[in-house]
Amino acid sequence: MHVQSAPELRPVRPLLADAVEVARQALTDLGEDRVGPHLGVTADDDTTVTHRFAATIPGYHGWQWEVVLSALPDTDRVTVNESALLPGPEALVAPEWLPWDQRVRAGDLSPGDLLAPRADDPRLVPGYVATGDPVVDEVAFEVGLGRKQVMSLEGRLEAAQRWFDGDHGPDSEMAKAAPSTCSLCGFYLPLAGSLRAGFGVCGNELSADGQVVHAQFGCGAHSDTELPTGAGTPKFDAYDDGALEVVDLPTRTEVVVDVAVSEPAEETEVVTAEVEAERVEAAPTEGVEAAPTEGADTVSAEIVEAESTGTAERTSSDAVDEAAEAGTDSAPAE
């Protein structure tokens, strides 16, 4: 058992320090069955101590049961005062409670919600008080009345700082890349009053339309923006052929393959000179004496010449007919 005294090193009475089971039984009698080991005892004063037990309740890691016991100086009877479940040093607890007006953040307001200003809000002052804004003060002085409340100097400075540090301030990425500033843009609508020198409202529907922008803010939709001349688009410049690297590729070698297409052979018979001569000699001649004549020699010569040059092919029937005609004309009948 761990006995821990108070910061003043107040001793713990043995009677109360040894009453561990009395404290545990007090929790059991209350129906608490998730009681872990004893963690220690602390002396609150001369007659009161606090016993601590580990809580084994799911979801309450690090929490402790505490039971307060007391005993009078002149008695040996221990009395149970109270018990509680409290977070220990390693317990997971909710953050420190904050009032609602300190928890509300920008963007929390939705349609239908009502959000009143904080009591004694330093950002607001009564309308009849001089605010330092020449436009407001001049109107209030001339009319004798004004709005019930107007922004104070502190409120205007806070607003100006937020706008300066925001997405439409001079240090934003958009402003750093812009060709010019809002103070020189035709869509820039300066604010009235003391903030006129530093802020205005953008009137360009394609940019920060309706948003408060700093005078040194800027974007690509500035009224003086000019599109690049010539071909191309506003986003991309035309290609410069002179900046291109020309690489000569190796010429491709074409291989032409001649494929001999065999045509179907003609069914005609090619007659050579020797075959034709044999046929002429063997041809029957009834009543006609086959004698070599000038015409037959001419036909044979033509056939031989055609065979040697490969420019003519003659069928056997044509050759026979020509040879017969030549022989008939040249040979006289007996």
- For the stretch 206-245, pLDDT in tens is 888 999 999 999 888 888 877 555 555 555 566 666 666 7
**Tens digit of each residue's pLDDT (9 = 90 or more) over 76-97:** 899 999 999 999 988 988 888 8
Between 11 and 37, residue with greater pLDDT? 37
Once rounded to an integer, what is the mean pLDDT over residues 170-189? 90
pLDDT of residue 1: 46
pTM comes to 0.38
Judge contact between 214 and 172, C-beta under 8 A. Answer: no
- Span 293-315, mean pLDDT? 51
Token code pair at residue 326:
């030549």
pLDDT in tens, 2-28: 545 444 557 888 899 999 999 999 999
pLDDT at site 124: 77
Confidence band (pLDDT; 50, 70, 90) for 266? low
Q: How far is CA 36 from CA 2, 27, 50, 67, 89, in A?
A: 15, 11, 16, 13, 16
- For residue 217, give the nearest of 187, 239, 240, 262 by alpha carbon: 187
- Residue 288 has what pLDDT? 46
The predicted pLDDT at position 220 comes to: 85
Question: Predicted confidence band at 36 (pLDDT cuts at 50, 70, 90)?
Answer: very high
| 49 contacts 41 by C-beta, under 8 angstroms | yes
Lookup: tokens for 2: 């761990």
Per-residue confidence (pLDDT) for residue 214, from 0 to 100:
94
The more confidently predicted of residues 141 and 106 is 106
**Taking residues 34-62, what's their average pLDDT?**
92
Mean pLDDT of the 58-74 span: 92
Tokens, residue 170: 């001079």
Distance, in Å, from the CA atom of 80 to the CA atom of 25, rounded to the nearest integer, reads 10
Which of the two residues, 121 and 79, has the higher pLDDT score?
A: 79
Of 21, 57, 63, the closest CA to residue 38 belongs to 21
Question: Over pLDDT 90: what percentage of the chain?
Answer: 27
Q: What percent of the chain has pLDDT over 70?
A: 62
**pLDDT interval class at 258 (50, 70, 90):** low
CB atoms within 10 A of CB 130: 11
Contact residues for 91 (Cβ-Cβ < 8 A; gap 6+): 60, 61, 62, 63, 64
Poorest-pLDDT segment among 173-182, 187-196, 269-278: 269-278
Q: Residue 6: what pLDDT?
A: 41
Tell me what pLDDT residue 275 has: 57
Averaged confidence pLDDT in the chain: 75
Statement: residue 328 has pLDDT above 60: no
pLDDT, mean of residues 305-331: 52
pLDDT of residue 29: 92
Q: What's the CA angle centered on 311, arms 306 and 317, to 5 degrees?
A: 60
Predicted confidence band of residue 162 (pLDDT cuts 50, 70, 90): very high
The tens digit of pLDDT for each residue in 268-278 reads 555 555 656 66
